[in-house]
Structure 1
Amino acid sequence: MTKSRMFRLSLVLGSIFMIIFIIVFWDNGGTTQSYLHTSYTRPVSPQKTEKPPATIRNEETAYMADVDEFLDMFLNSSMTKTNNVNERTAQTLPLGSSRAIVASLEENVRGYDWTSQDNKEPLDEEMQQAARKETLRHFCANSSFSFATKHRTFDDIPNKELDHLIVDDRHGIIYCYVPKVACTNWKRVMIVLSQSLTERGHGIPYRDPLQIPREDVHNSSTHLTFNKFWRRYGKFSRHLMKIKLKKYTKFLFVRDPFVRLISAFRSKFLLENEEFYRSFAVPILKLFSNHTDFPATVSEAFSSGMIPSFNQFIQYLLDSQTEKEKPFNEHWRQVYRLCHPCQIEYDFIGKLETLNEDAAQLLRLLDVDTRLQFPPSYRNRTASSWEEDWFAKIPVAWRQQLYKLYEADFVLFGYPKPENLLED
């Protein structure tokens, strides 16, 4: 009886020791690969090295043998593994290392005319990225520039605020999506790369991003995000997040903050959307209009012309009670609150104003450009040149308050202060 008890105790202690050993090894050494991985506190882009095909394949196999599988086995995770045994044999493409990034000058233009860029002299891609990242690092470190949440650590970020960080373990990529900044198509790209969704009726992973239905793209169950780690890994979740932030390639796309607001208003209030009508349009009209009786459906509201104005939408954003009742909706929440750029140093910062060029550059850096292309974007976008028209009826005092509300996004991502809108 004593021997049996001692054997079980030894087995338990041995298992615990192995878990600690694997985690410590993974944190210190990790897997050997040539990916564009950098530290989550200070990015460094290693030089690309040539390796024989056999070495690359061995590294891919080692990479797929993630600590996820080890923890799933010993902790009896109830969540389906992202990388199962069958996926190990799937055809994958290794990520390449970036070329050296040098310091440079950032493009000093605001807005984008959305016309053909063929006649414009292209900026050096590496210089552009270096400038964007340097701007972000500078203002995150600048003690004279402050905003809410700037000084927290990664551990201080509540789990519910990590829901925009999508993880692709197959290729070592983390994408922070920002609504109204081409996030639908970037989510499609992430689905194709991670093979997280299969074609309906065929059972094979999607290969063409545009074939993925929009409702599946925005279904939260489709993506593995950081806020899901707690359910999967429990107390190990933060540790594993830091490992992936240290070793994975991290990117996001941003946009002129005021233009993003206009785009959000147009898509959520000027198009029939039942959810946004009930959750936001009706409350806005109750607060900032003389109406007391509201149509039951969004279709009836549109027929009667009872929809919020842009003026009322801005009032809603500036009202101090709005945030007290619930956080801003993700479509108009500030980027620094969605993606935590002072806690996570991104390897690539794309902009919607240069979407086509930036998307092509990123896919090349990830060495997946031969596998897929970023879906072509429609041209009917909200243009920066429209800002003056949209804000014409907004009092200057309100515009100034609105700028303060979104100032961190303007500054961190290199968008000039819109002086023309803020002066009397």
Structure 2
Amino acid sequence: METQKLPCSCLYCFRDSLGRITEWLTFDNMHHQWLLLAACFWVIFMFMVASKFITLTFKDPEAYSARQELLFLTAVPDAGKLPGEKHFPEELKPTGAMLPDSQLAQPLVYLERLELIRNVCRDEALRNLSHTAVSKFVLDRIFVCDKHKILFCQTPKVGNTQWKKVLIVLNGAFPSIEEIPENVVHDHEKNGLPRLSSFSEAEIQKRLKTYFKFFIVRDPFERLISAFKDKFVHNPRFEPWYRHEIAPGIIRKYRRNRTETRGIQFEDFVRYLGDPNHRWLDLQFGDHIIHWVTYVELCAPCEIKYSVIGHHETLEDDAPYILKEAGIDHLVSYPTIPPGITMYNKTKVQHYFLGISKRDIRRLYARFEGDFKLFGYQKPDFLLN
């Protein structure tokens, strides 16, 4: 039986149909490819928009206060209160929780400082050296700038005069730092710097929870040397009570050679500060002790959640950073820092402690150990051993 052949016209029709189908499939495939490509571009575009939005949100200074963590207030026993001390009820204690969003963009060194404080605050062995009540004595040390939502805790002998000038300008009392008379800076009746203690308890806690908070530290022993020189040797602001009232009180109690008639010596000062019973004299001296008490007693770093801790030794970097973080770097600048003035001077420290007994130095370190550990200062073994 012969195979029946298709007519030529049918064959041509079949080929023509097959070509059209192939062309349609090719076109449809390209159509899907273009759709897929367009979808990819759309996803990339939306991702870029979202990233830009997130970046702008985190840079918004107005959002700062909303991201601050709660204040931690810790009550301590009433024994040995400082002058005019007022205690607030115990609320929460540091937990070492994750860093708030406002701190995620901070350079590593500032994050490490805050983390170190949290770790030391959790160390029960150092609790008596790292914790204190948020008392009136502490609140008196904290200056307020409501206009820019800033709290600054005063730590005397660590360049605080310059920070006061910055806040005075921000509060509008003077148009520039250069125009502030030197005698006005420390006159708290005229400098326009309210203390946190002047507000109601509710207003205090609101500011502590939401404002940008900072203070500056330096090597604890070098700070004591600076305090001794400034108040008992040079006394540039003519504060006679240091030489005529405080110095004699220290000499009477702590000078070993009763026949010696010289004025107060650094050795007398060290014995006073290292005495576990120093609070009896502190009560007599009143608020003048702010120049040599510990940073813990001044600013309560385990109870108050500070935003930034500056170091005197790195002030050239820390001052601009603090102004930027507080959102005021476009309004005011930190005064020029003379070269080398903030550097730690080991030779000077050795000179002042020369001749002082190891026992007295160790007792002094025992009192200030909390400051050394909270702020990462190296233990002065060259003085202790």
The TM-score, its normalising length taken from structure 1, stands at: 0.63
When residues 395 and 389 of structure 1 are mapped into structure 2, their CA distance, relative to the original with a 3 A threshold, is same
Equivalenced residue count is 286
Partner of residue 38 from structure 1, selected from 43, 68, 77: 68
Cα distance in 2 for residues equivalent to 1:414 and 1:179: 19
Q: Is the partner of 2:216 in helix, strand or coil?
A: strand
Aligned 8 A contact 2:222 2:349 in 1:
yes
Match of 2:58 in 1: none
Cα distance in 2 for residues equivalent to 1:43 and 1:270: 46
Aligned 8 A contact 2:110 2:308 in 1:
yes
Larger mean CA deviation between 237-246 and 317-326 belongs to 317-326
Cα distance in 1 for residues equivalent to 2:104 and 2:171: 24
> Percent identity at matched positions?
31
Cα distance in 1 for residues equivalent to 2:162 and 2:151: 15
Q: Is the partner of 1:315 in helix, strand or coil?
A: helix
Q: Is the partner of 1:175 in helix, strand or coil?
A: strand
When residues 365 and 320 of structure 1 are mapped into structure 2, their CA distance, relative to the original with a 3 A threshold, is closer
Match of 1:360 in 2: 320
Partner of residue 248 from structure 1, selected from 193, 211, 231: 211
Match of 1:16 in 2: none
Measured after TM superposition, the shift of residue 193 of structure 1 is: 0.9
2:175 counterpart of 1:207: yes
Cα distance in 1 for residues equivalent to 2:260 and 2:126: 43
Cα distance in 2 for residues equivalent to 1:149 and 1:336: 6
Aligned 8 A contact 2:138 2:300 in 1:
no
Match of 2:268 in 1: 312
2:245 counterpart of 1:279: yes
What per-residue deviation string (whole Å, max 9, x for no partner) do you get for residues 172-217 of structure 1? 111101000110000111111122x2xxxxxxxx122232122211
Amino acid at match of 1:316: Y
Pairing of 1:127-276 with structure 2 (within 5 A): 127-148=108-129, 150=131, 156-195=133-172, 197=173, 206-221=174-189, 222=191, 223-229=193-199, 237-272=200-235, 273=238, 274-276=240-242
Match of 2:380 in 1: 418
Cα distance in 1 for residues equivalent to 2:329 and 2:269: 40
Amino acid at match of 1:322: H
Measured after TM superposition, the shift of residue 141 of structure 1 is: 1.6
When residues 372 and 394 of structure 1 are mapped into structure 2, their CA distance, relative to the original with a 3 A threshold, is same
2:382 counterpart of 1:405: no
Cα distance in 1 for residues equivalent to 2:101 and 2:368: 34
Measured after TM superposition, the shift of residue 279 of structure 1 is: 2.4
Aligned 8 A contact 2:169 2:177 in 1:
yes
Pairing of 1:87-98 with structure 2 (within 5 A): none
Amino acid at match of 1:185: Q
Aligned 8 A contact 1:254 1:350 in 2:
yes
When residues 164 and 277 of structure 1 are mapped into structure 2, their CA distance, relative to the original with a 3 A threshold, is same
Amino acid at match of 1:397: R
Aligned 8 A contact 1:172 1:248 in 2:
yes
Partner of residue 339 from structure 1, selected from 292, 299, 306: 299
Aligned 8 A contact 1:286 1:292 in 2:
no
Amino acid at match of 1:172: K
Amino acid at match of 2:280: K
Aligned 8 A contact 2:271 2:364 in 1:
no
What per-residue deviation string (whole Å, max 9, x for no partner) do you get for residues 98-155 of structure 1? 6623xxxxxxxxxxxxxxxxxxxxxxxx1110000000011112223322572x6xxx
Measured after TM superposition, the shift of residue 388 of structure 1 is: 1.4
The TM-score, its normalising length taken from structure 2, stands at: 0.69
What per-residue deviation string (whole Å, max 9, x for no partner) do you get for residues 333-365 of structure 1? 100000000100110000000011100111112
Measured after TM superposition, the shift of residue 416 of structure 1 is: 1.4
What per-residue deviation string (whole Å, max 9, x for no partner) do you get for residues 301-320 of structure 1? xxxxx421111111222345
When residues 380 and 366 of structure 1 are mapped into structure 2, their CA distance, relative to the original with a 3 A threshold, is closer
Cα distance in 2 for residues equivalent to 1:380 and 1:308: 26
Aligned 8 A contact 1:350 1:358 in 2:
yes
Larger Rg: 2
Higher helix share: 2
Cα distance in 2 for residues equivalent to 1:351 and 1:149: 18
Q: Is the partner of 2:301 in helix, strand or coil?
A: coil
Aligned 8 A contact 2:157 2:223 in 1:
yes
When residues 391 and 376 of structure 1 are mapped into structure 2, their CA distance, relative to the original with a 3 A threshold, is same
Aligned 8 A contact 1:285 1:291 in 2:
no
Cα distance in 1 for residues equivalent to 2:123 and 2:184: 41
Q: Is the partner of 2:303 in helix, strand or coil?
A: coil
Cα distance in 1 for residues equivalent to 2:203 and 2:98: 18
Larger mean CA deviation between 266-275 and 372-381 belongs to 372-381
When residues 43 and 340 of structure 1 are mapped into structure 2, their CA distance, relative to the original with a 3 A threshold, is farther
Amino acid at match of 2:331: R
